[in-house]
Structure 1
Amino acid sequence: MNDNLIITIGRQFGSGGREIGKRLADLFGIAYYDKELINEASKSSGLSTEYFEKADERAPSALLNSFSINWLTGAGGIWGDGGLSNEYIFKFQSDVIRHLAETQSCVIVGRCADYILRQYPRCYNVFIHAPLEDRIERIISRSHGMTRKEAIELAEKKNKLRASYYNFYTDKGWGVASSYDLSIDSSILGSEETAIFIRDFIQKKDGMPKWEKKK
């Protein structure tokens, strides 16, 4: 097992988790992966990014209507009645996450990375949340023309999908504090100070200064 520093970020939709994750990666001078995992999984498996995009953080029940065509192939078991088996999609993506963790220090957002990398000694798992009003304000600010009602509905839908996905593939509860090393409300300090707080927390827990930001 290598000694790479891995930070996983779980997040409520609209909490600023992606922004905080990017800032953390910059503070530590390490790589950042979110949607990039889809491209990596596609290249690794040789499959179209379409499969990974449709399956992204969706539990099997949410996938049944995503692949409506009955595909035929000699690949031997990776195709289900509704298309590419979601278990194989999860496996391909999990293999990519493990490969990244074995080859470099990085921040990984979502996709059950905390569970997939649970055996890694320097993997620190963070969950970002925020009050509804703060999340709605952020969603509207980045979505031109979206109403408050639409923003609330979108947030509820996204969080429900993420929770179902996480709870299906892990033995933990999405958003439950005990599932993570740190659970933090991003509205208290704001994105920048939250990222700094998380950095300081990880440095103390990790016993740094054995880890130093790359020049």
Structure 2
Amino acid sequence: MKELFVINIGRQLGSGGKDIGEIIARRLGIRLYDKELLTLAAQQSGLCPEFFEKADEKESRSVLSTMIAYLRSPFAGDMGNVTNVLSNDALFKIQSDVIRDLATRESCIFVGRCADYILRDHPRRVDVFISADDEARIHRLRSRTGCTEEEARSMMERGDARRADYYNYYSSKTWGAAATYHLSINSTVFGDEGTADFILEFASRKLNMKF
């Protein structure tokens, strides 16, 4: 039985990070987790998925108040209406537990959500950051959303700033900085398939595995 491993992908908005991750996942026959983590965290905690979606990759310097309505206990009787106030930090902790649990049970790919930091003690991990030239990012965003070039640039700025704030806040490291990851790569150079090839070759050597 092969040892378990994880590939963690950080990415600029519009760089194709998730697309490239999906290519790698298909080739390796493993699962990729992105938004699915929010659903799993909600299921594990018993909270509504909306709580996690609102806090998704957003830092928490202030408290996010959320209402959990009608939590019923067999001993609560008519007092079963409970209000809990959770911070983004608490939601991050729940999501982190889900990521750690998955990493102990299967080889997989995580996209974003500080997975590289959460799994920093995992002995068999590959941490990758995917960037791309602005023109390529704009083209990808416009192709997917039908937005204008100006709107795409605005989306990029907001998206990258949000991801950087989230990552830097929870990890105390620097989002996108080469020293933060095992490999930083510009997807514009090789395209999605070629970038997947490069990451797989790198991962194969780092993990001492033949893919």
TM over 0.5: yes
1:47-126 mapped onto 2 (5 Å cutoff):
47-61=47-61, 74=82, 79=85, 84-126=86-128
Question: How far apart in 2 are the matches of 1:59 and 1:13?
Answer: 17
What is the aligned counterpart of 2:144 among 129, 136, 142? 142
Contact 1:13 1:135 in 2 (8 A): yes
Question: How far apart in 1 are the matches of 2:32 and 2:144?
Answer: 21
Q: TM-score, normalised by structure 2?
A: 0.89
Q: TM-score, normalised by structure 1?
A: 0.87
Question: How far apart in 1 are the matches of 2:204 and 2:175?
Answer: 25
Question: How far apart in 2 are the matches of 1:177 and 1:74?
Answer: 45
Displacement of 1:206 in angstroms is 1.1
1:193-208 mapped onto 2 (5 Å cutoff):
193-208=194-209
Question: How far apart in 1 are the matches of 2:105 and 2:68?
Answer: 35
Displacement of 1:74 in angstroms is 4.9
The residue that corresponds to 2:169 in the other structure is: 168
Gap regions ≥5 residues in structure 2: 70-80
> Which AA in structure 1 matches 2:198?
F
Identity level (%): 48
The residue that corresponds to 2:76 in the other structure is: none
Displacement of 1:171 in angstroms is 2.4
Where 2:145 maps in the other structure, the secondary structure is coil
> Which AA in structure 2 matches 1:39?
T
Where 1:8 maps in the other structure, the secondary structure is strand
> Which AA in structure 1 matches 2:95?
Q
Question: How far apart in 2 are the matches of 1:27 and 1:71?
Answer: 41
Question: How far apart in 1 are the matches of 2:82 and 2:123?
Answer: 39
Count how many residue pairs are aligned between Structure 1 and Structure 2: 199
